[in-house]
């Protein structure tokens, strides 16, 4: 969803914190969002972050590989090795989506 003209209200870059203020809060923030453990913030840099992402990707790939035999929606073509997903039908429209659609239709009138 987009709001026409919303970019005219504020320049987000003027709302950024000064780097000094960020540094004061960074260690707490990194722990709060789960990017590092208490006391690890000193070693948090681009290389640390990259290792984290690589570890998460490796773990996600291993979980996907382990779950493949039970995944009925994933098909790997035996000739080409290309994976594809079978079409999946939703079990109906969620209540929140239905309400949103109704509100959009109401406002169009």
User: Is the per-residue pLDDT at 7 higher than 80?
Assistant: no
Identify the band that residue 109 occupies on the pLDDT scale cut at 50, 70 and 90.
Answer: low
Please write the tens of the pLDDT for every residue from 42-57. 778 889 889 989 999 9
Which residue intervals of the chain are DSSP H helices? 19-32, 46-67, 95-108
Q: Provide the token pair at 54.
A: 């690589």
Tokens of 86: 């079978």
pTM confidence score = 0.48
Q: Kindly compute the dihedral angle of the four CA atoms of residues 84, 86, 91, 96, in this order, to the nearest 10 degrees.
A: 20
13-33, pLDDT tens digit by residue? 888 999 899 888 888 998 998
């Amino acid at each position: 969803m987009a709001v026409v003209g919303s970019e005219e209200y504020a320049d987000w870059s003027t709302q950024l914190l000064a780097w000094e203020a960020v540094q004061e809060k960074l260690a707490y923030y990194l722990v709060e969002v789960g990017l590092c453990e208490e006391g690890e913030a000193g070693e948090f840099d681009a290389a640390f972050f990259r290792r984290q992402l690589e570890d998460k990707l490796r773990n996600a790939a291993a979980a996907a590989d382990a779950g493949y035999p039970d995944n009925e929606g994933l098909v790997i073509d035996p000739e080409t090795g290309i994976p594809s997903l079978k079409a999946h039908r939703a079990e109906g429209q969620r209540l929140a989506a239905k309400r949103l659609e109704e509100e959009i239709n109401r406002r169009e009138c």
